[in-house]
Amino acid sequence: MTPNERFRNGLLVILAFFTKFFALFAPLRLTLASGFIAKTRRAQRDREGFERCLLLVPAGGRLCAIIALSLLGTAPLQSEDWPMWGGTPQRNMVSSMKGLPVSWNVKTRKNIKWKADLGSQSYGNPVIAGGKVFAGTNNENPKNPAITGDKGILMCFRESDGKFLWQAVSDKLASGRVNDWPFQGVCSSPLVEGDRLYYVTNRCELVCLDTEGFLDKENDGPFTEEKYKSDLDADIVWKLDMMEELGVFPHNMSNSSPVMYGDLLFIITSNGHDESHVNIPSPRAPSFIAVNKKTGKVVWEDASPGDRILHGQWSCPALGMVNGVLQAFYPGGDGLLYGLEALTGKHLWTFDLNPKDAVWPKTRNDAISTPVFYDNRVFLATGQDPEHGEGVGHMYGIDPSKPGDATDTGRLWHYAKIRRTISTAAIKDGLIYIPDFSGFLHCLDAKTGKPYWVHDMLAAVWGSPLVADGKVYLGDEDGDVVVLQEGKALKVLGENNMGSSVYSTPVPANGVLYILNRSELWAITAAATGTGN
């Protein structure tokens, strides 16, 4: 099939499955430090120290961080959790995990540890921390028979065997699809630290939950007015309603996945257009906020894209230490990448992600992908809501040390042979792996942007690649997860079909690969006996 034919076929599939798009933002979606789950204050301090340590090492060097921390005399850290979108605040989906499988089979259960049933559509990426696995979905497979109808659901499973533990339930917004698209569920990937979990609901709320739910027989506060309080339900600690309290008008879906440093949580609010796609109801509402993780109170906010928002805002922020200053990187809905001083919100630089002559919506894009911080550089590619189909894209290597308008001064390179993408890059050993929505996986040199190879997935790609164990894992809309050899030469090692579309990103944790298709969460490991339930 030609790219055009594939595009048309892909579009038909999309139209048949959903009437609209959305949440892919999840795949695009998205945390800090590998979850070190301990509940003591000492462990908490160790963990925060580890987070700071992580910010100082190149992404993918987590093992080095663990060793470094051990040398500092802190508690041994054995965990290989994946506690946030992207694994770390740099959002570079690279893992030092070994022994991951090339092949598995969801029909014969070869290399399948377990499978958990979700709702009918799942766009969030799983997060694994503290012996639990969390994934966003909808309520079309009700886990609590007393709660039915369309809801946003965040499910919690036991890591060891996939047993369902509890779920967070959010009613749909009464305003409907303009703010909260039907049946899209929860699209944000949570961030877990110790016994606290943070995520964004379909109601544009940033919520803190107790990872033990009500199974610990305690209702943690200050929030104790839960609508659902059985053992199957979520224990809310606090919530920040961004529509009520900040005036945010989310377009179609709120999906951002938090990133954290110290006491600060950072998220993009999804503020955007109304149904007219012309009017921005709340141009002065914040697009990017920093929130105290203990209280849920806003510490600082930024509304820079203002009345220049092109559509919606569905990216996720990343963090990086640049010349001793912690920076937060967030792609604004105006097509600019913003670099802010993370602790204060002070503006440091901006970078225009579009050529000067680009025109929305044909050639001008925003970014749904998450920026990646690697080797003191920021890497980001542009795209649009998948509902807009395929189109021209751009990818950049950016120096975040240049102040002010860094569009020219900070541009290390520009790669124009990528199509629109909603995927996030994975970078290892100087090689960037970045797919596009047209189904091409590009391998680029991180220093120059020059391509080494391009692999045709033969289907649209919504999710992002994972680099682990010498391999690159990437899923597509046909439900295939391709496994390629990491490196400058293109080599396909295998392909495994998941039974339905994979809109998510393969996630590694504790020797297991987690892959979400539309309605199921699969735990895959070379160590499995093949008797997964």
User: Which strands, in side-by-side order, build the sheet including 151-158?
Assistant: 127-129, 132-138, 151-158, 164-171
The nearer residue to Ca ion, 140 or 226, going by C-beta atoms, is: 226
Q: Which stretch binds Ca ion (CB under 5 A): 155-163, 213-221, 261-269, 510-518?
A: 213-221
Binding map of Ca ion across residues 250-289, x = CB under 5 A, - = no contact: ----------------------------------------
Q: Which stretch binds Ca ion (CB under 5 A): 78-86, 227-235, 331-339, 430-438?
A: 227-235
Least distance CB 211 / Ca ion (angstroms): 9
As beta bridge partners, residue 513 has: 508, 524
Q: Which stretch binds Ca ion (CB under 5 A): 33-41, 231-239, 402-410, 422-430?
A: 231-239
Rounded-to-5 percentages of helix, strand, coil across the chain: 10, 35, 55
Least distance CB 208 / Ca ion (angstroms): 9
Question: Applying CB under 5 A, does 219 fall inside the site for Ca ion?
Answer: yes
Residue 473 to residues 33, 166, 312, 466, Cα–Cα distance (Å): 22, 29, 29, 5
| Chosen residue from 56, 105, 161, 218 binding Ca ion by CB under 5 A | 218
Question: Applying CB under 5 A, does 231 fall inside the site for Ca ion?
Answer: no
Tokens coding 138:
């909808």
**DSSP result, 373-437:** EETTEEEEE-B--GGG---B--EEEE-TT--EE-TTTTEEEEE-S-B------EEETTEEEEE-T
Residue labelled with tokens 């409907």: 176
Least distance CB 209 / Ca ion (angstroms): 8
Least distance CB 213 / Ca ion (angstroms): 6
The nearer residue to Ca ion, 44 or 120, going by C-beta atoms, is: 44
Q: Which stretch binds Ca ion (CB under 5 A): 156-164, 235-243, 280-288, 347-355?
A: 235-243
What does the DSSP 8-state code read for residue 251? S
CB–CB of 359/406 below 8 Å? no
Kindly determine how many residues on this chain lie close enough to bind Ca ion according to the rule CB under 5 A. 10
What does the DSSP 8-state code read for residue 279? -
Sign of dihedral through CA atoms 41, 47, 48, 50? positive
| Chosen residue from 216, 231, 263, 375 binding Ca ion by CB under 5 A | 216
The nearer residue to Ca ion, 18 or 164, going by C-beta atoms, is: 164
Residue of closest CB approach to Ca ion:
235
Least distance CB 223 / Ca ion (angstroms): 5
Least distance CB 235 / Ca ion (angstroms): 4
Question: Applying CB under 5 A, does 233 fall inside the site for Ca ion?
Answer: no
Tokens coding 241:
């309603």
3-state secondary structure 80-103: CCECCCCCCCCCCCEECCCCCCCC
Secondary structure tally for the chain: helices H, strands E = 4, 34
By C-alpha distance, which of 407, 460, 459, 468 is closest to 433?
Answer: 468
What does the DSSP 8-state code read for residue 24? G
| Chosen residue from 51, 205, 210, 477 binding Ca ion by CB under 5 A | 210
Q: Which stretch binds Ca ion (CB under 5 A): 183-191, 224-232, 412-420, 505-513?
A: 224-232
3-state secondary structure 437-484: CCCEEEEEECCCCCEEEEEECCCCCCCCCEEECCEEEEECCCCEEEEE
The nearer residue to Ca ion, 171 or 495, going by C-beta atoms, is: 171
Q: Which stretch binds Ca ion (CB under 5 A): 229-237, 307-315, 376-384, 402-410?
A: 229-237
Tokens coding 242:
């961004």
Q: Which stretch binds Ca ion (CB under 5 A): 215-223, 399-407, 433-441, 457-465?
A: 215-223
E-only strand ranges, 141-228: 151-158, 164-171, 191-193, 196-200, 205-210
Least distance CB 215 / Ca ion (angstroms): 7
| Chosen residue from 235, 436, 477, 486 binding Ca ion by CB under 5 A | 235
The nearer residue to Ca ion, 212 or 486, going by C-beta atoms, is: 212
The nearer residue to Ca ion, 205 or 210, going by C-beta atoms, is: 210
Binding interface with Ca ion (CB under 5 A): 210, 212, 216, 218-220, 223-224, 235-236
